[in-house]
Structure 1
Amino acid sequence: MKYFLSKNFMMGASAAAWQTEGWEGKKPGQESLIDAAYKVNPDRWYEGYGPTIATDFYHRYKEDCKLMKEMGLKAYRTSIDWSRFIKNYETGEVNEDAAAFYDGVVDELIKNGVEPIICLEHWELPNQLFEKYGGWNSKEVVEFYVKYAEAAFKLLGSKVKYWFTFNEPIVFPELAIMDGIWYPYKSDTQEAMQWNYNKVLANAKAVKIYHEKDYGYQSGGKIGIIINAAPSYPRSQSTDDVKAADMYDLFFNKIYTDPCIKGTFPEIYFPLLKKHDCMIAVTDEELAIIQANTIDMMGLNYYRPNRVKARSAAWNPEVKFNPQYYYENYELQGKKMNPFRGWEIYAKGLYDFAMILKNEYNNIPWLVTENGMGVAGEEKHKDADGVIQDDYRIDFVADHLRWLLKAVEEGSQCFGYLMWNFTDNVSPYNAFKNRYGYIEIDLDDNRNRRIKKSGYWFKKTVEDGYFEYDGFEPVYK
């Protein structure tokens, strides 16, 4: 079956500064929290690879931009590394070398016909601000971020039409502050919720500056936030299971989608924090700022659905509160899997969340900012010309795209699809184990680039304006 793309539909790819640039050009003390995570425990990163060189985008961005043009990318989303860009985090003074680098990247993208989409924080919180102020636990860091955001707007606002304040802002609070999985290995739900709230506040303040000052908004620029959200599916329609799914949705989706799009937090959120002795520092003045400065668009990172059920046992009262107090994860029988990442593949979830945005969130304009499939050992599957035969990635992208286009046909205001990632990249702790790119990064050959079969499929799809897919339709019914 043929699926047609509209002329103005953005087809592109995403990346992040810390996962591509490497440390070249950074001054002493200019490390991010994720850089620090590698320095503290390099042994936890697969085969020791971390962000030190990454894909060497810092030196090779011109080469990569030419590859984007060759493949027909219409848009490329990346981030500015806050820890690189700002010389003095407290005053907002810019590092001129870093400014020249990012200015050059944007110019090169435009030169090659690629729309630059810039995110201000993809986990690149300066480590100095974590060590001195406690990171996003601090209201002072919110103000430092706003100074940084304005400096970025001043530099690139005349060239960049699409801005995002944060990428997956919940991930570090969840994995590093609440669940103790990532550095700094904390387990404090109250502090994690303060991080989340302060990021929502920082988002609103950045939106306010972008809207009120002439940094491109008046000439059609847009600003938003990127959420790694997904539908929360209950195991059954029993009252207990549905409540479990609702509570998961509250703590992992709605604490961002509601205030950033609607301007208010869910009514039950703060009372729940008080009930569990986790109430955070909130003021009426801050809530008014959040309410008055909502986003223009949303980015959605979608990889897998959330499936939950009611707890089968009571929460241990000796353990501090965690949202898992209200739910347990549920494994769907017969699900389609990516065995390398251990994640369920459920393309219809993208359609379902599109309908949530349409029906519950004022049909806000949005685009897919990440969606992809990480696979290990791809280098073993090359043809005679050395091209990786990643048919599974073509299947993954086509399947998700067809559901996305169905949502667009039904009125969803989605205007683009950016796959994760343009090239293979460093991932947190997995390093280069699972590959995501349309372009191979050959670690055994000086990180040279080579287009995969999926990259050629992407090029043909953009040129033709459609793709053909029959797929595994029964799996998703």
Structure 2
Amino acid sequence: MKKNPTTFPVDFLWGGAIAANQSEGAYDVNGKGMSVADINRFHGELKRQDRSNKEITMKDIEFALQDKEGFYPKRTAIDFYHHYKEDLKMLAETGMNSFRTSINWTRIFPNGDELEPSEAGLRFYDNLIDEIIANGMEPLITVSHYEMPLHLATEYNGWYSRKTIDFFVRFCETLFQRYYQKVKYWILLNQINLITFESFNHLGIPADRVENLKEAKYQGIHHELVACARATKIAKQINPNMQIGMMLFDGISHPATPKPEDVLATMKRNQMEYFFSDVLLRGYYPGYAFRYFEDNGLDIKFGAHDEEDLKNTADFLTFSYYYTRISDANSAKEENSAYINPELPASDWGWSIDPIGLRTALNLYYDRYQFPIMITENGIGAHDQPDENGDIHDDYRIDYLRKHIEQVRNAISDGVDVHGYYSWGPIDIVSCSSSEMSKRYGFIYVDKDDQGNGTLLRKKKDSYYWYKNVVATNGEEL
């Protein structure tokens, strides 16, 4: 009888993942344009309404562009733009064999609607990708990771406009033509299902420029789905061996109680979490989506060839995993329709810690799609405090990662086809949601604080040496 493997595959991708907007800085170098991330301001003592990922209006945008006193951390970040050689060398010394980053759209097309790309921007990524490869790491490149040109938001209402399909496809084709011999694995859009927590950062739709924001978001998502399908077709024409992935934020919730109404409400809620991958992996809109649009009074318009375009499906599924949530019949009525399980421990930022949930998610996705899977983000944000010698003893991070990687191994034994695991933020970067530096994920400490002060000195944490051993033993020693 055939038996499932009990160890990680010999060609397993052990990696780390960052995003250009949270790491590169150099926001005004070599003709780079302003992106939606460049207006994310740090607010000090954070309240929910002050977070970087809130809804944004034109007034907010105009204020940020004229503001001379506020601090916008993603404009400078950790200056990966100038430090990438030393950073990649240090990361490669863990033994990781893959590295995920994104290409900042505004370095290639500063406004997004230009006909020709910036050669200076492309040369930077020529060098960056070459350096990743030279350090023995397989590049996994995200095309769009919250770096939409701000001009597309202000002039076109971001993804709400069908014109953005063509702008994005041009961006993709430019990258595919440039890097088809160097980059095998691509993710077109980061966490495509995050339309609540990362609404403006993701879709670039100013909230005051549309009458029905919820409808505008799903219309924008439709345009993204079509754009991804068209880009996938082009990628395969350029090089059939390129692997095009799609990415979710794992937003699956579990019923808060065994009551039938809670189970049903959670099932319906989860269908709209699967919606994005159902379209990109199966090639058509599922019936439940049309029911959802009808129930919510949403009129999503299709173009004449959209259904045919959507048949160009992705090659693999990726998702980020940080926490699980629960839902019930009452919460399902709300926009943010799930909540943290109070029975679980939580991080400093209130994110529940549920390693078993990762195994559950891997099984659910694989049962549904039977596509190869990569976990392209997983980690814990924490307040790392250097000791009197400047060393960082982050046993809490090691414990978190150990327990999650163990569940990945269990999922492989369940028969799930897992190809890779990427820790989020293997080097400290600016937080996506709150623009803090103090929310640290990395194996490598970067000397910079929330107000932008610091030497930018890099230093290895205890978790660095732990991850090095994990990779060296291919996950046998956790």
Which bracket does the TM-score occupy, shorter chain normalised? 0.7 to 0.9
| Structure 2 partner of 1:344 | 352
> Are 1:304 and 2:323 counterparts?
yes
Aligned equivalents of 1:242, 1:98: Cα separation in 2: 49
Q: How much has 1:289 moved relative to structure 2?
A: 1.1
| Structure 2 partner of 1:224 | 245
* Letter aligned with residue 403 of structure 1: Q
> Are 1:238 and 2:238 counterparts?
no
> Are 1:379 and 2:404 counterparts?
no
| Structure 2 partner of 1:472 | none
| Structure 2 partner of 1:35 | 38
| Structure 1 partner of 2:25 | 22
Asked if 2 retains the 8 angstrom alpha-carbon contact of 1:311 and 1:327, the reply is no
> Are 1:50 and 2:55 counterparts?
no
Asked if 2 retains the 8 angstrom alpha-carbon contact of 1:301 and 1:369, the reply is yes
Asked if 2 retains the 8 angstrom alpha-carbon contact of 1:177 and 1:189, the reply is no
SS state at 1:51 partner: helix
CA 1:92/1:276 → structure 2, altered by over 3 Å: closer, same or farther? Answer: same
SS state at 1:301 partner: strand
> Are 1:12 and 2:15 counterparts?
yes
Aligned equivalents of 1:177, 1:54: Cα separation in 2: 20
Asked if 2 retains the 8 angstrom alpha-carbon contact of 1:230 and 1:350, the reply is no
User: Scaled by the length of structure 2, what TM-score is found?
Assistant: 0.86
User: Scaled by the length of structure 1, what TM-score is found?
Assistant: 0.87
Q: How much has 1:49 moved relative to structure 2?
A: 5.2
Q: How much has 1:29 moved relative to structure 2?
A: 7.2
SS state at 1:379 partner: coil
- Greater mean alpha carbon deviation, residues 349-358 or residues 126-135: 349-358
Q: How much has 1:177 moved relative to structure 2?
A: 5.4
> Are 1:455 and 2:478 counterparts?
no
Q: How much has 1:329 moved relative to structure 2?
A: 3.1
> Are 1:193 and 2:218 counterparts?
yes
Aligned equivalents of 1:50, 1:404: Cα separation in 2: 34
| Structure 2 partner of 1:256 | 276
Aligned equivalents of 1:72, 1:264: Cα separation in 2: 40
Aligned equivalents of 2:202, 2:137: Cα separation in 1: 38
Aligned equivalents of 1:179, 1:72: Cα separation in 2: 32
Q: Deviations over 1:291-342 (max 9, x none)?
A: x111001111011113101117xxxxxxxxxx7348853443421211x111
Aligned equivalents of 1:48, 1:40: Cα separation in 2: 8
Gaps spanning 5+ residues in structure 1: where? 313-322, 470-477
CA 1:41/1:269 → structure 2, altered by over 3 Å: closer, same or farther? Answer: farther
> Are 1:417 and 2:421 counterparts?
yes
Aligned equivalents of 1:332, 1:222: Cα separation in 2: 36
Alignment coverage as a number of residue pairs: 445
SS state at 1:466 partner: coil
Aligned equivalents of 2:328, 2:26: Cα separation in 1: 43
> Are 1:163 and 2:163 counterparts?
no
Asked if 2 retains the 8 angstrom alpha-carbon contact of 1:398 and 1:467, the reply is no
Gaps spanning 5+ residues in structure 2: where? 1-5, 53-69
Aligned equivalents of 2:379, 2:72: Cα separation in 1: 21
Q: Deviations over 1:63-94 (max 9, x none)?
A: 01110221111111000000111256324411
Q: Percent identity?
A: 29
* Letter aligned with residue 431 of structure 1: E
| Structure 2 partner of 1:148 | 171
* Letter aligned with residue 164 of structure 1: I
Asked if 2 retains the 8 angstrom alpha-carbon contact of 1:51 and 1:426, the reply is yes
Q: How much has 1:255 moved relative to structure 2?
A: 2.1
Alignment of 1:68-79 (within 5 A): 68-79=91-102
Aligned equivalents of 1:360, 1:454: Cα separation in 2: 34
Asked if 1 retains the 8 angstrom alpha-carbon contact of 2:280 and 2:314, the reply is yes
| Structure 1 partner of 2:374 | 367
Asked if 2 retains the 8 angstrom alpha-carbon contact of 1:179 and 1:185, the reply is no
Q: Deviations over 1:255-304 (max 9, x none)?
A: 211001111222021232133221211235202211x1110011110111
SS state at 1:277 partner: coil
Asked if 1 retains the 8 angstrom alpha-carbon contact of 2:7 and 2:413, the reply is no
Q: How much has 1:33 moved relative to structure 2?
A: 1.2
Asked if 1 retains the 8 angstrom alpha-carbon contact of 2:362 and 2:416, the reply is yes
Q: How much has 1:26 moved relative to structure 2?
A: 3.6
Aligned equivalents of 2:375, 2:469: Cα separation in 1: 20
Asked if 2 retains the 8 angstrom alpha-carbon contact of 1:247 and 1:326, the reply is no
Asked if 2 retains the 8 angstrom alpha-carbon contact of 1:69 and 1:114, the reply is yes
Asked if 2 retains the 8 angstrom alpha-carbon contact of 1:17 and 1:81, the reply is yes
Asked if 2 retains the 8 angstrom alpha-carbon contact of 1:37 and 1:184, the reply is no
Aligned equivalents of 1:274, 1:324: Cα separation in 2: 15
Aligned equivalents of 2:31, 2:153: Cα separation in 1: 16
Asked if 1 retains the 8 angstrom alpha-carbon contact of 2:27 and 2:33, the reply is no
| Structure 2 partner of 1:441 | 446
Asked if 2 retains the 8 angstrom alpha-carbon contact of 1:254 and 1:266, the reply is no
| Structure 1 partner of 2:132 | 109
SS state at 1:120 partner: strand
* Letter aligned with residue 367 of structure 2: N
Runs ≥4 in structure 1, deviation > 6 angstroms? 39-43
CA 1:309/1:45 → structure 2, altered by over 3 Å: closer, same or farther? Answer: closer
| Structure 2 partner of 1:278 | 298
Q: How much has 1:465 moved relative to structure 2?
A: 2.8
CA 1:342/1:385 → structure 2, altered by over 3 Å: closer, same or farther? Answer: same
* Letter aligned with residue 418 of structure 1: Y
Q: How much has 1:9 moved relative to structure 2?
A: 1.0
CA 1:386/1:40 → structure 2, altered by over 3 Å: closer, same or farther? Answer: closer
